[in-house]
Amino acid sequence: MNISTLVEQIKATHKSKPLSDADIKSLFQQSKQFGFILPPSYLVFLYEFGNGDLTNLGSYQIFGQDIDAPVIVGDAPAIVGEFSIGNPKAPDPVPLDGGSSVPKRSLFCLMTEDSNGGAWCWLTSEPDAEGEYALAYYEPCEKRLFYRVPNFTTWLDILVRDKQEVIRSLDVDEKLGLG
């Protein structure tokens, strides 16, 4: 499924307030300061849902899945989620399920923490030809990444399809013991 179709499906059940073009440009510039560029699919998502899901009184959940909204600093949105700040005890490099690893500094969180204490992170050291990044789930007790998905659109597709936290859809064998 493409990102535009997914956004339309979410809009059918979640009321939101889009970010302005100036706000999106500001977030884009901030991501460059962190050393990466926000993926195009996520920018499309931000245009529609950048200020959060208003049906939950400003919290930022879609089908029960946390997705950090940009925080407002002064009058402008700001990026939060630099992995190293929120996870100072994570190893470097961070092991990825399946045997490989990624540099700790290259991780950027889609959300700072979900209801299970973990976080979905972009693997910014591995952009594809379209400027998208894979995502993987950081489990803080294991101090490793699990369940890599190819990009934000795939991640969002799982969320829209299953209407529950993405990690719960992928961890069907309960490898992470989420309960």
Q: What CATH number should be reported for the domain holding residue 30?
A: 3.40.1580.10
Domain contains 179:
no
Q: Which residues contact 88 (CB under 8 A, 6 or more apart)?
A: none
Q: Say if 130 falls within a structural domain.
A: yes
Domain count, the chain: 1
Q: List, for residues 128-169, the tens digit of each pLDDT value.
A: 999 999 999 999 889 999 999 999 999 989 988 988 889 999
Q: Is residue 175 part of a domain?
A: no
Is residue 30 assigned to a domain?
A: yes
Tell me, yes or no, whether 112 lies in a domain.
Answer: yes
Range(s) of the domain holding residue 115: 3-170
Distance separating alpha carbons of residues 138 and 45, to the nearest angstrom = 22
In this structure, is the dihedral angle defined by the CA atoms of residues 47, 87, 100 and 34, taken in order, positive or negative?
positive
Q: What is the pTM of this model?
A: 0.82
Query: Whole-angstrom Cα distance, residue 36 to residue 60?
Result: 23
| Residue 19 resides in a domain | yes
Q: How far apart are CA 52 and CA 48, in angstroms?
A: 9
pLDDT string in tens for the chain (179-residue length)? 888 888 888 777 777 767 778 877 887 787 787 778 888 998 888 777 765 545 543 444 454 444 544 444 445 444 555 566 667 788 899 999 988 999 988 888 877 677 788 888 889 888 999 999 999 999 988 999 999 999 999 998 998 898 888 999 999 999 998 86
